[in-house]
Each structure stands twice: as C-alpha cells, then as structure tokens.
Amino acid sequence: MIEFNPDDIQIIEVPVGRDMMLIITGGAAHIGAVSTAYRTPDGIEVQTSNVPGHKEYTISEDLARKAVEVLDRTVTVAAGIHYDQLTKEEIQSIVAIVNERMDNYLKKMKRSMSLLRTP
C-alpha cells in the first residue's frame, strides 16, 4: 500500500531548448496527464491529454498556464501522483502542496531570470 507522504511530492525541471518540461510526481510515479501551454496572439492556450481514469489534468492545466505566464515560454507539465485510498481532505492537501511547490519554483525562476537580465 502506498500511503500519503507529502515529502515525496516533487517537481522535476527538464529544459528543452528554450522551452520547459515540468514533471510532477508523488507516491507511485506515473503519467496521468500531460498539459502543454503556449502563447498565441489571443493569449495562452493549453492542450491536455490524460490517461482514462486519472484526474491529474485537473491540476496540470492550471500549472502549465501559470508557468507560461511567469516563464514566457512553452511549458509542458506531466503529472502523475498516486497514493492508495486517499480521503477528500488528503486530495485537497496534495493539490495545495503541488500549487505551493509550483509557486516556489516559479518565484525562484523569476528571480534567476531577472538576475540574468541585470547588466
């Protein structure tokens, strides 16, 4: 049985040229959903593919959109988090943890991008 452990939820960054792939896992790592967000003349578009029966698309889409807003590049978020027999409260906790970790990652990236632009 895979029990909920907030410490093993992670975001892994994989630069792909100018673009970015972010892999979010926790518990039994897998691919549940993949969302790619990119800028168009009309705003930010997101395309998502999810494995039937998996619910990670509910967070991957928002996270990909949020990352494009900060990083200003195409971003793909692959998410796969699985723990056995989660309660509704534990699911809400996982979503909060993932959002907090993404916010921290994006703040760190924003700081490093501004340092690179400073002469």
pLDDT less than 50: residues of the chain:
none
Residue 5 has a pLDDT of: 93
Q: Please check whether residue 70 is in contact with residue 110, taking contact to mean a CB–CB distance below 8 angstroms.
A: yes
pLDDT of amino acid 118: 54
pLDDT of residue 116: 63
What is the structure's pLDDT at 112?
84
pLDDT at res. 119: 55
Q: How far apart are CA 87 and CA 15, in angstroms?
A: 35
Confidence at residue 58, expressed as pLDDT on a 0 to 100 scale:
94
The CA-atom distances, in angstroms, between 37 and each of 2, 75, 116 are 31, 5, 24
Q: What is the DSSP string of 81-106?
A: EE-TT--HHHHHHHHHHHHHHHHHHH
- Note the pLDDT of residue 117: 61
